[in-house]
Amino acid sequence: MTLKPAKIYKSQWISWYDFLGTQPNTSRLYQDFDKAKSVAHFLKFNSIKDYKLTCKVKDKALSVAPNEKFKEDWISWEDYLNLNGCSAYQTYSKAKLATNRLKIKSSIEYSVIRKAVDLRLPSSPELAYKEQWTSWYDFLGTEDPAKNLYANYLSAKCATKKFKFSCASDYCTRYKLLDSKLPSTPKRKYKNDWVSWQDFLNIS
């Protein structure tokens, strides 16, 4: 049976160099940033992930972490890989399909994943496709939790009455367990009709 220290000590694992007490041999890597950048442009990597997975296959002199190796000259991955010229998806439906395939669940996740996997996805899809844009929920194919909430202040207020909440903090502690249609922030959800917590919770 082959021992795998990286797996056995995964909670403490850093790298083979750290485990063996050695230093990586960087003498065979490109030492000049412009040279490394020029080679990276020539090899036409599609994304940061593509670079990290295949750079050593295409050219062993490329560093897997050029952003660390060339800290003083580093600008961005887009600059290093010449990805700024990537043409974005021309239509909302194509971009939406791409995000659905990547199973992106939030706008924050979208920002991270597009940089690593597919720069054809625009950084601000709500602006790139503003004529078709409705919401992040629609674009990512996720469910808008607000759709399942009480539609108006009076309906939600009526629902709270039977639970006899004593105050706002009591509501925040128990509302989710008692009724999934009650919002986490009713003051924000029903801001146009909001009166007070006492009124909303039917506290006389």
Q: Between 44 and 1, whose confidence is greater?
A: 44
The pLDDT assigned to 52 comes to 87
C-alpha distances (whole Å) from 111 to each of 29, 51, 63, 86 are: 31, 18, 25, 16
Q: Which two tokens stand for residue 114?
A: 């597009």
Which pLDDT tens digit goes with each residue over 169-188?
999 999 989 998 898 899 98
At residue 103, the 3 state secondary structure works out as coil
Question: Looking at residues 5-18, what average pLDDT do you find?
Answer: 68
* φ/ψ bin of 44: left (φ > 0), alpha (ψ from -120 to 50), beta (otherwise): left
Per residue in 140-165, pLDDT tens? 988 777 778 898 999 999 999 999 99
pLDDT at 157: 94
Would you list the domain boundaries of the chain?
9-81, 92-143, 147-200
Whole-number Å distance between alpha carbons of 142 and 14: 36
φ and ψ of 126, to 5 deg: -65, -25
Instruction: Compare 23 and 170 and report the one with higher pLDDT.
Output: 170
d(CA 156, CA 100): 33
Q: Is the distance from CB of 123 to CB of 86 less than 8 angstroms?
A: no
